[in-house]
Amino acid sequence: MGYGIKLTDTERNALDGLRLTTSSADVFRNCLIILMSDSKDTIASIAARLGCSPETVKRIRNLYRMGGINALHPIKPPGRPSRATPAFRKALHKAVRTSPLKLGYGFSTWTAGRLAEYLARTTGVRFSDDQIRRILHQEGLSFQRPKHTMKGKRDEALYEKARRQLDRLKKGRRSLVPQKS
């Protein structure tokens, strides 16, 4: 089996530039494979030094021969399309921004389980609690704990009066404390 790939100075510089500027570990490794192939390293020695299989080295070499430097970027497999369609995501946004009380529920905050159940009833698409959390994260939304206050349940004028008195007491105590010299 022959030694690797012959690179021109321009190709070597382009590979080095890509290697040094990429944030992808796969692209970095792929550039190294091609650069090492130019320096007369064998497939087995390249694989051993980079911690990958000889098949990976062969595959990357073939990709480079066929498509050049652009072929060193990994291709994301297409995968199955999400069941969270744009219509579902729109319904999710609408539900999250609406109080459950306004929708006739007896609770005031959404949980992932409650939201999943509501969306399953309204859209017909059922997701687990964990999947709802992931979709919320993808949409830039998150669950937050409600801040419980007594606002609206207390006499605000009396509360403010007591707070001002407490502030005056604190100020008065500070002036009575001897200062260290």
> What DSSP string runs through 45-86?
HHHHHHTS-HHHHHHHHHHHHHHGGGGGSPPPP--PPPS--H
Which of 46, 42, 18 minimizes the C-alpha distance to 31?
18
Q: What is the pLDDT of residues 81-108, one digit of tens each?
A: 889 999 999 999 999 999 999 999 888 8
- Arithmetic mean of pLDDT over the chain: 88
The domain segmentation of the chain, as residue ranges, is 9-72, 86-138
Determine contact, residues 44/90, Cβ cutoff 8 Å.
no
pTM assigned to the model:
0.47
